[in-house]
A = this chain, B = another copy of it.
């Protein structure tokens, strides 16, 4: 998606450790007009696919998931990163390793909000090593639902998570795939 790539080129900065900082428009300050264009693009790519629910993970995926949901007319559910006092009932869970934070954490999703027969679109802002997406996929499948696909804003292609999931049969649609960040050419996108 050229509009997103242009913003990454214009405002993205690369921090040590192959971290791409896009906080000015994507994952801390959120440009809602851009979000709407991304939501429309996900709707275009998944047109003709049955989607009954969108699932994301806190925190930075939530905004994009909510804006995108308007183009599918479905509810959004987000997986929480730790058990909190106001979650009750039967839970799905997965353990995820964060590349950015170099930590492991547990995510949970109430079974009541991902039902057998659901056809789920996963939305997230970033896909790197794929651990978060793998965890979401395993929770959705163990809840008896189907993963229709994943819509990602920025995939770090060189970390391989997206391609591993594609090889397993998960449809991953990323709006911008970055192949290199720190080389002599700067930020390079997959053709």
**For the side of the interface on A, what is the size category?**
35 or more
Chain A contact surface mostly: mixed
Complex Cα distance, B86 from A112, in Å, reads 33
A87 at the interface (CB under 8 A from B): yes
Stretch in contact with the other chain, from A40-48, A57-65, A152-160, A181-189: A57-65
Q: How many copies does the complex hold?
A: 2
Per the 8 Å Cβ criterion, residues 60-94 of A in contact with B are 62-63, 65-67, 69-70, 73-78, 80, 84-88
Interchain CB contact (< 8 A) of A113 among B29, B63, B77: B29
Interface of A toward B, CB cutoff 8 Å = 15, 17, 19, 21, 23-24, 28-33, 35-36, 58-59, 62-63, 65-67, 69-70, 73-78, 80, 84-88, 100-102, 110, 112-113
